[in-house]
């Protein structure tokens, strides 16, 4: 089961909107039962509110299943979007020896699955995939700066290895919510910088670096596509 990736602000916002929905639905029911309202006001009001209370669970179910890729819905619910295929590079600060040059940048793809309640990150490089085990999107109220923060796990099975590396990433959402950039740290210990640009909000069947690379290449060939070049 996926852990819920809601902040306290997200939870309060959800309660607020559920309250609005109950009021609107109850008012609509009362409007169509005005004749009965005059004869039996308490009964009609109670029945209308009871019926309206059945709507929020349906709304919650919808939000838990719906991919978070619709700008108008994200604006209405005031929840930033990171759902999509992202492409960029990873710059590690690791050096093989004292005085050696840092490693060259490594291409990296992020596949981010997001709904109102859930957020998962799968990353791919040419040599190794990684997956998130804990994720959150924090938005500073005064500055509206959004930080995607996550714990990730990499497992190496090549050459009879069975090694798990645990790390932490902290990426800032910028450029109209179409760029992620920041730092990562691991227990190796290594650290480095990641920068990613949004390729597309719509993606299916990406399970490897080659899949992500192919999807990006195909989108770049489509005139008028939203892929960042």
pLDDT digits (tens, 9 = 90+) for 69-111: 999 999 999 999 999 999 999 998 876 666 667 778 999 999 9
Q: In this predicted structure, what is the pLDDT of residue 226? A: 52
Q: Which CATH code fits 84-220?
A: 2.40.128
- pLDDT tens digits, one per residue of 127-144: 889 999 999 999 998 888
pLDDT score of 89 = 96
As a dihedral over the C-alpha atoms of residue 122, residue 123, residue 126, residue 127, rounded to 10 degrees, the angle is -80
Name the residue ranges covered by the structural domains of the chain: 8-65, 84-220
Write the DSSP string, 140-199: -TTT--EEEEEEEEEEE-GGG--EEEEEEEEEEEETTTTEEEEEEEESSS-EEEEEEEEE
Q: Quick one: pLDDT at residue 159? A: 57
β-bridge partners, 165? 154
What pLDDT does 228 receive?
47
Q: Higher-confidence residue: 170 or 4?
A: 170
Residue 224 has pLDDT above 60, yes or no: no
C-alpha distances in Å from residue 19, one per residue of 35, 55, 59, 65, 72: 26, 10, 11, 21, 20
120 pLDDT more than 90: yes
The pLDDT score that the predictor gives to residue 229 is 40
Which pLDDT band, with edges at 50, 70 and 90, does 5 fall under? confident
The answer to whether 94 touches 103, Cβ cutoff 8 Å, is yes
The string of pLDDT tens digits covering residues 158-194 is 555 667 889 999 999 999 999 999 999 998 778 999 9
Reported pTM = 0.85
Rounded distance, CA 114 to CA 64, Å? Answer: 9
Whole-angstrom CA distances from 77 to 10, 72, 143 are 9, 9, 18
């Amino acid at each position: 089961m996926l852990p819920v990736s809601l902040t306290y602000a997200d939870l309060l916002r959800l309660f607020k909107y559920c309250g609005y929905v109950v009021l609107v639905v109850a008012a609509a029911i009362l409007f169509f039962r005005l004749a009965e309202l005059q004869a039996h006001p308490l009964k009609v009001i109670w029945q209308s509110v009871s019926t309206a209370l059945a709507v929020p669970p349906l709304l919650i179910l919808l939000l838990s299943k719906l991919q978070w890729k619709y700008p108008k819905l994200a604006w209405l619910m005031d929840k930033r979007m990171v759902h999509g295929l992202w492409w960029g590079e990873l710059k590690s600060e690791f050096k093989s020896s004292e005085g050696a040059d840092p490693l060259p940048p490594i291409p990296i793809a992020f596949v981010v699955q997001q709904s109102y309640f859930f957020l998962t990150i799968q990353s791919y490089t040419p040599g190794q995939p990684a997956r998130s085990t804990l994720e959150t999107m924090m938005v500073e109220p005064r500055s509206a700066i959004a930080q995607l923060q996550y714990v990730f796990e990499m497992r190496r099975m090549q050459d009879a290895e069975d090694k798990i590396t645990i790390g932490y990433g902290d990426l800032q959402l910028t450029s109209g919510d179409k760029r992620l950039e920041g730092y990562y740290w691991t227990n190796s210990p290594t650290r480095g910088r990641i920068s990613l640009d949004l390729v597309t909000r719509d993606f299916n069947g990406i399970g490897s670096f080659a899949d992500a690379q192919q999807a990006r290449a195909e989108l770049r060939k489509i005139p008028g596509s939203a892929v960042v070049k």
